[in-house]
Amino acid sequence: MSSQAPTPATAPDRALSADCAQCFGLCCVALPFAASADFPVSKRGGEPCVNLREDFRCGIHARLREEGYQGCTVYDCFGAGQRVSQETFGGRDWRAEPVSAELMFAVFPVTRQLHELLWYVTEALSLSPARSLRPDLRAARAEIDRLAGGAAEELAKLDVEAVRGEVNGLLLRVSDLVRATVPGRKKNHRGADLLGARLRNAKLRGASLRGALLIAADLGGADLRTADMIGADLRDANLAGADLTDAFFLTQPQVNAARGDATTRLPGALARPAHWEGEGAPRR
């Protein structure tokens, strides 16, 4: 499923980037999906996708979008798949040891959430305006990594929402410091319902778009520099010509879910989705 997003430059290694060759196809088995615009069929959690091969590779990886599996192309596990497969379960796969399957599938989404938090905290450490918070951020990163490296039974019982709540408070402080570097009054669209909103050429530099619903919004040509994008839903949003050069807390899955073109400017740690090249001019 993974788009194999790059990791932030300050990450010590590529542990936060999916390595499907080291994973037992966990996203293709553990997670459920329903027949929709993103998937042509429905599948229960714990049930292998019909396209999963014996070697845990996807049989239609090169043509997922053509086959109707768009949802797979916008998903990324942030490296949780290989960590669960190779570290938590020591390289023992669920086919060879079926008794471990249920626990493995329960642990995977928990570790995925922890690795997403690691991504945000690692990026926060690279943001100069938040340098006063680096001791707290390093401590948070160490604690999240410790939890992600715990035993499977402990991970399955972990209150990951409580962990997210604690880290979110720290990330909010980071956001305030970073956005304060933008002169003037900044727009606050935190949690706003902007579904289908007409925001073409909008001046959103330094804005908070945390958790904003931007599905199918027209952000063509918008200035999104230094905007906080954490949790913003960009599915089918038009980013043609938009400037997200130093937007922060923006992830590869968010970018993959949007529509852009050759003039869309992205942060250096993120890759331009291959499917943007084949879409032509984004729909208006």
Q: Looking at residue 278, what is its pLDDT?
A: 53
Give domain status of residue 217, yes or no. Answer: yes
> Do 75 and 167 have their domain in common?
yes
188: DSSP letter: B
Q: Looking at residue 12, what is its pLDDT?
A: 40
Give domain status of residue 71, yes or no. Answer: yes
Map tokens 């050759």 to a residue: 262
208: DSSP letter: B
* Residue at which a domain ends, from 158, 179, 200: 179
Give domain status of residue 82, yes or no. Answer: yes
Convert the pLDDT of each residue in 235-246 to its tens digit.
999 999 999 999
d(C-alpha 275, C-alpha 114), whole Å? 28
> Do 118 and 30 have their domain in common?
yes
Backbone φ, ψ for residue 174 (5° rounding) = -60, -45
- Kindly report the pTM of this predicted structure: 0.90
Q: If pLDDT is split at 50, 70 and 90, which confidence band does 3 have?
A: very low
> Do 156 and 191 have their domain in common?
no
Convert the pLDDT of each residue in 12-31 to its tens digit.
445 898 899 999 999 999 99
Question: Cβ contacts of residue 14 below 8 Å, gap of 6+?
Answer: 7, 79
> Do 121 and 42 have their domain in common?
yes
Give domain status of residue 240, yes or no. Answer: yes
Map tokens 């304060």 to a residue: 180
Give domain status of residue 166, yes or no. Answer: yes
Q: Looking at residue 275, what is its pLDDT?
A: 84
Q: Looking at residue 256, what is its pLDDT?
A: 94
> Do 162 and 189 have their domain in common?
no
d(C-alpha 274, C-alpha 284), whole Å? 20
* Closest alpha carbon to 116 in 179, 164, 166, 46: 164
Structure tokens at 267: 């942060």
Q: Where are the beta strands (DSSP E) in 115-165?
A: none
Share of the chain above pLDDT 90, in %: 88
* Residue at which a domain ends, from 135, 151, 179: 179
What is the rounded average pLDDT of the residues 92-103? Answer: 95
Q: Which residue would you say has higher pLDDT here, 8 or 17?
A: 17
CATH code: domain of residue 270? 2.160.20.80
> Do 173 and 262 have their domain in common?
no
Instruction: Tell me: pLDDT of 131 over 90.
Output: yes
Q: Which residue would you say has higher pLDDT here, 17 or 225?
A: 225
Do 226 and 181 contact (CB within 8 A), yes or no? yes
How high does pLDDT run on average in the chain?
A: 92
Q: Is the dihedral of CA 37, 43, 44, 45 positive or negative?
A: negative
Convert the pLDDT of each residue in 238-284 to its tens digit.
999 999 999 999 999 999 999 999 999 999 989 999 888 755 444 43
> Do 274 and 169 have their domain in common?
no
Give domain status of residue 4, yes or no. Answer: no
> Do 156 and 249 have their domain in common?
no
> Do 36 and 115 have their domain in common?
yes
Q: Looking at residue 244, what is its pLDDT?
A: 98
> Do 117 and 247 have their domain in common?
no
Range of the domain at 62: 20-179
Q: Looking at residue 11, what is its pLDDT?
A: 41
> Do 171 and 189 have their domain in common?
no
Q: Say how far residue 29 (Cα) sits from the centre of its chain.
A: 19
Give domain status of residue 28, yes or no. Answer: yes
> Do 47 and 168 have their domain in common?
yes
Q: Looking at residue 284, what is its pLDDT?
A: 36
* Residue at which a domain ends, from 128, 153, 179: 179
Give domain status of residue 59, yes or no. Answer: yes
d(C-alpha 107, C-alpha 155), whole Å? 6
Do 85 and 24 contact (CB within 8 A), yes or no? yes
Quote the number of domains for the chain: 2
Convert the pLDDT of each residue in 37-68 to its tens digit.
899 999 999 999 999 999 999 999 999 999 99
Question: Cβ contacts of residue 247 below 8 Å, gap of 6+?
Answer: 224, 225, 226, 227, 228, 229, 267
